[in-house]
Structure 1
């Protein structure tokens, strides 16, 4: 492990600076990286969101010859700790025990962030021979789902637009080359209010919302389509309404999450919801029509394994003797945001892990040399002469 001691040491220091999304101040974890980069004379700058808060750190290694830019991306913010009493070690431990790096963020994704910094530091010393350039994006607004670092990076007029991005989520056996998209909306279901003890039998908003939930969940969705291996999926994820036992509520709000595919896209998802809403309102009128408010929409995507940067990463893995399968993911990831910008991305190749987003998170350091070698080989192939 001595050849990767610097990467491991940096990852340990990052883990020891708590950076739970929406809970901790990100300043301390960003300063750890800034000190590390400054000591190696690597250029970097903070990225800021619309409110002026830090959302990421960006470093750039510009090659001495013309060519496309590529990016490595890993997040520095983490999931919360959950029940700390259930952990067998401190969530901010950062210790290495029996070859496992312990602590929240070890797997997702502080070890990857440290590894990407190490690759950038190596390339910085030989930048003149590189074609194009390498950006390393370290996001502190990833676990919120806001992806503020990526958004700020893409909106930065000073940053060359990347031709592709490799995202350092963990997992040794698969490379994510695609994912279902999503369409999300809130639905406001109305009715006349009243007293629960009155003789009136008009259904309240919660009863009407329950009927709408049945309509949505019984709606027929298509199956998997062509080369895209996953079908769409609809889930009602929230329900809020009511003010007490004696009041018939006049409003109930639902949250709906639909995972989309190339054969069932955001437009089809919205149409399905609006048709169910129209059926509800036609069957039982209310003082106000049911309203649908779209909240978010990301496209599905899938890269051919011959397209970059998927080809470079899969070829590099094969060159290092690893059997790595391309995968289309059910959950969405930052690759969907990038797909919406026309930027191809891979995700999900890294070390083995346990306790991701749960108790006793840890990352297997035995895998680090091979994973590091794969990313290094892939990046060098992308920055080679065309």
Structure 2
């Protein structure tokens, strides 16, 4: 079996093991990977998160010469299927039809996981010539948003901290070298409760929350600057309050998501929200002040084209005749988590795809030889071998 055929076969078997985040048991998909790795003599071990649950597999290929370690990362958990009746094929198909690999996870990111396993297997046979080492992280806690595999990897005292990470999200025309950060919070808006028909009733919590939404959405945000190509963005993502019709609600909770930039960071985001909250409590007083609880904060990041591992990946892609451009993504990704740890990362270069997180997800296998060659060349270059 050729190397590409072996990668495709493994990807098919992974797709046929449903591993939807928060829905499926991950043991079957982990078992497929472990059988494949053991059959090729690759060193691997499980990573565990809270309550000792498995959150990923870590493959480690140690080089015979001193040098930094680098990591490849791909998730093997997936988004949910959504409306299965809308799919034109089974979400766990794994079939190859007209050059496209079908099924949930084909694009994000079981094909990349299989490809990275193949690269690790090849490097295992020439490890003595490598400087440093290669780690391959196969995460089964990515689509939850918890990134448990990455967190466990970074916290593992036995793992060598990587000098950089290449994340195998798909897309042939771009190498993602950065992303906006985020600051998220829940806001509890209070009011006096009462009967909705009472003459003495004042504005309820939902009405006060609506005023706060208006204040937040009218707040002025800076534009993009020369150092970072995207502006910050504020979105009110949830609103929960009240029950029935006869009671004026005394609590309404909002969810706020702010995408941050180097010029408008987490501190600025929190300051904007607290300023709006203060203005609300002055304009529409309440028995209890509005409270803000931060949920998450990640820094923005952006690698320059000459910074590793972006430089090696871009050069390798161009050496294959591919026209690629560095991209700073609007959504956050694992690269933001790594940036917070001081680890540079690329977060996207792979095959063309359709239906990612939607119906009829599939990945273009015609792109696999070139993408495989790009990552192989990148890793060998970083490890000081050719």
Aligned to 1:268: 268
CA distance in 1, matches of 2:183, 2:28: 35
CA RMSD of aligned residues (A): 1.0
For residue 168 of structure 2, what is the aligned residue in structure 1?
168
Partner SS state of residue 351, structure 1: coil
Instruction: Give the distance between the partners of 1:283 and 1:356, measured in 2 at CA.
Output: 45
Any idea what SS the aligned residue of 2:152 has?
helix
Instruction: State how far apart, in whole Å, the 1-side matches of 2:190 and 2:361 are.
Output: 44
Superposed CA deviations along residues 264-304 of structure 1, whole A, max 9, x for unmatched, are 00000000000000000011111100000000000000000
Matches within 5 A, 1:209-358: 209-358=209-358
Deviation readout 1:19-42 (Å, 9 max, x if unpaired): 000000000000000000000000
Alignment partner, residue 147 of structure 2: 147
Show structure 1 runs of 4+ deviating over 3 A: none
The residue that corresponds to 2:20 in the other structure is 20
CA distance in 1, matches of 2:320, 2:380: 14
The CA distance in 1 between the partners of 2:286 and 2:381, in whole Å, is 63
Q: How does 1:189-228 map to 2 (within 5 A)?
A: 189-228=189-228
Worse-matched range after superposition: 251-260 or 196-205: 196-205
Give the C-alpha shift of residue 2 in structure 1: 4.6
Residue 97 of structure 1 corresponds to 97
Secondary structure of the 2:52 match is coil
Instruction: Measure, in 2, the Cα distance between the counterparts of 1:255 and 1:52.
Output: 30
Structure 1 Cα separation of the partners of residues 226 and 370 of structure 2:
34
Match of 1:348, SS?
Answer: coil
Post-superposition CA distance 1:152-174 (Å, at most 9, x none): 00000000000000000000000
- Residue 315 of structure 1: how far off its partner (Å): 0.5
Consecutive unaligned residues of structure 1, counting only runs of 5 or more, are: none
**Aligned equivalents of 1:32, 1:63: Cα separation in 2:** 26
Aligned length: 386
Query: For residues 18-57 of structure 1, what are the structure 2 equivalents within 5 Å?
Result: 18-57=18-57
Structure 2 distance, partners of 1:305, 1:142, is 27
1:121 is matched with 121
User: Aligned with 2:308: secondary structure?
Assistant: coil
Q: Deviations over 1:345-370 (max 9, x none)?
A: 00110000000000000000000000
Describe the shift of the 1:31–1:69 C-alpha distance in structure 2 as closer, same or farther (beyond 3 A): same
